[in-house]
Amino acid sequence: MPEPTASPRLPRLVLLGKQGAGKGTQAVRLAEHYGIPHLSTGDMFREAAAAGTPLGLDAKGFMDRGFLVPDDIVIGVVEEQLAGDRAAKGFVLDGFPRTRHQAEELDRILGPNQLDLAIDLDVPTEVVLHRIAGRRVCANCGAVYHLDNPPEHDWTCDVCGGKVEQRDDDTEDAVMRRLELYEMKTLPVIQYYRRSGILAHVDASDEPDEVFKRLAELVDSYFDPGARAL
Ligand code: AP5
């Protein structure tokens, strides 16, 4: 565990964890709570695919089969998002880095504004399988729901009124491949941040509110709560 800091800066965070661990769910809450951008590579590719851009259609071919999008494409997209002094203002990254090479490249992109915490959301595999099987997302804004926690009105998004549906890559085959790739490619990222001394684990198997409370307590213990954008 890293040493606490009294820095007044806004946090620079990475959320790690298996597919369905709740990275997207919690990243949205952390971004709102701390007033920092939520950068999700999965959402960026889904938006690009929905817009029919060459990048999005290329990425969709990999995503729908449960494969990782090639490193050079993903790194280029993240570099664009964090260009200039944007990284200095804090962020929560969700779904990136996912390979050791991406983690090394993130360090390069961040330069003097290095990460504060890489938080691994711990959830048993049987729990994530249930979560993914029941996940439904808004096709318009990406808001995440579950069969156990649906929107208020007949699968219409509470946030924007868009259509709420199953993700194209939440098929059984694609999910099993994504979980295998997580073991092969993303566990080394956890090891990478352990060695860097910025890794923290949070039990994310409980209800979303409880998990968020744990995350905010963890982040607050490293950052001056007065720095929070209210
Ligand atoms: P991405 O969109 O990042 O998907 P993922 O990593 O597979 O993660 P998920 O979105 O499946 O899970 P999550 O942890 O965000 O869980 P969520 O909050 O939705 O990536 C998709 C694809 O894009 C990849 O497969 C790859 O092809 C490509 N890609 C993206 N980034 C890449 C990269 N860096 N390199 C290469 N390729 C990349 O929650 C899941 C469900 O559980 C929801 O229904 C939610 O409501 C529910 N839930 C959440 N928390 C709880 C809780 N505490 N209790 C009960 N239910 C909960």
For 119-162, how does the pLDDT look when each residue is reduced to its tens digit (9 = 90+)?
A: 999 999 999 999 999 999 999 999 999 999 999 999 999 999 99
98 lines ligand 1 (CB under 6 A): yes
pLDDT score of 227 more than 60:
no
Of the candidates 196, 195, 212, 194, the residue with the CA atom closest to the CA atom of residue 204: 212
Q: What's the pLDDT tens digit per position in 170-226?
A: 998 999 999 999 999 999 999 999 999 999 999 999 999 999 999 999 999 987 655
186 lines ligand 1 (CB under 6 A): no
pLDDT score of 109 more than 90:
yes
Which amino acid is located at 192 in the chain? Y
Distance of CA 82 to the CA centre of its chain: 15
Rg (the chain; Cα; Å): 17
208 lines ligand 1 (CB under 6 A): yes
> Mean per-residue pLDDT for 31-50?
94
The per-residue pLDDT for 226 is 58
Q: Which atom of ligand 1 is nearest to the CA of 135?
A: 44
Global pTM value: 0.91
Of the candidates 22, 26, 8, 151, the residue with the CA atom closest to the CA atom of residue 88: 8
How many angstroms is it from 28 CA to the middle of ligand 1? 12
